[in-house]
Amino acid sequence: MQVEQLTKDGAVTKRIIKEGLGKTPEPKNIVSVHYDAYLVDTNTKFDSSRDRKTEFTFQLRDSKVIEAWELAIPTMKVGEIAEVICTSDYGYGDKGRKYLVPSKAKLRFEVELLGFWEKSGTAPERIAAAHKKKNEGNELFQQGAIETALFTYRKAREYVKDLWDCEPEELDEARQLTVALHLNIGACHLKLKQYDNAIDTCKEALSRDHTNIKAYYRLSQAYMEKGEYDASLTFINLGLELKPNDKSLQALKKSVEQAQQKYLKSSTSLYRKMFSTPQPEE
């Protein structure tokens, strides 16, 4: 990829390693990233959120990060991975960073933008922000960027999952939105074959809306994929009690029963071979 100069003097450059999707952050957005940080002269890694297994979250233009990041991250899209190189003027300057970065050190970062969102405000603002984030997640999901969509849905959920101090109609909207986000998160986990996570998330949705047919359907899917056919059929039947003519649940029930029968036949055949009477040698 081509190197882009982010300052006129070339003191901060950016090279895209992996393209992202969607929009770029706006001023004062909260952003979340993973990064590895290196000293250019020795190629020594001095910091890494990935090694800590904890994403780094901060607000743009809040004086919490070096200037090179303030210039580079607003140009990135969700899912993008970029190499950012800067001189000390846009890094840690003459002082450096105690024990880690020497004075006047040139730095290199590999940064991945995981997501961004607006700072929380009033109940209507938080609900609107959650809807906006949910729509972004839907676009990412449709484009096949499942991991990025999952992160985006989670951030949308953060806006509304603990929203209580609001009007009754706002509370109801927040509840419905939270359920929808749990289901979307569950769909991502299913796509990623993270079946236990899908089960936990769909159960969260049911705890807020025990009549939600999609939650029963996705729970049943996850159990089927795990080979837990009895559990899958249990949730299918619970869903059919609420909506007996639901074609999606009826079709899934048929698929689960067929998979269960196939499994039982193969197991029976295996046991027969294991415990069959040995034949005498000739």
Domain residues for the domain of 260 are 123-274
pLDDT at 272: 59
Region 237-262 average pLDDT: 96
pTM for the model stands at: 0.67
Confidence of residue 167 (pLDDT cuts 50, 70, 90): confident
Is residue 17 over pLDDT 80?
Answer: yes
Number of domains in the chain: 2
pLDDT in tens, 134-161: 999 999 999 999 999 998 999 898 888 7
Say yes or no: 137 and 99 in one domain.
Answer: no
Q: Which has the closest alpha carbon to 14: 3, 24, 22? A: 3
Helix and strand numbers, DSSP H then E, in the chain: 9, 7
What angle (nearest 5°) sits at the alpha carbon of residue 111, between those of residues 155 and 71? Answer: 90
Say yes or no: 95 and 222 in one domain.
Answer: no
Say yes or no: 99 and 208 in one domain.
Answer: no
Tokens of 105: 């050190």
User: How far is 55 from 216, CA to CA, in rounded Å?
Assistant: 32
pLDDT in tens, 77-97: 999 999 999 999 999 999 999
User: How far is 207 from 213, CA to CA, in rounded Å?
Assistant: 13
Share above pLDDT 90 across residues of the chain, in percent, rounded to a whole number: 70
Is residue 216 over pLDDT 70?
Answer: yes
- Give the CATH number, domain containing residue 197: 1.25.40.10
Confidence of residue 117 (pLDDT cuts 50, 70, 90): confident
Confidence of residue 274 (pLDDT cuts 50, 70, 90): low
Q: Is residue 219 part of a domain?
A: yes
Catalytic residue ranges:
35, 46-47, 66, 92, 109
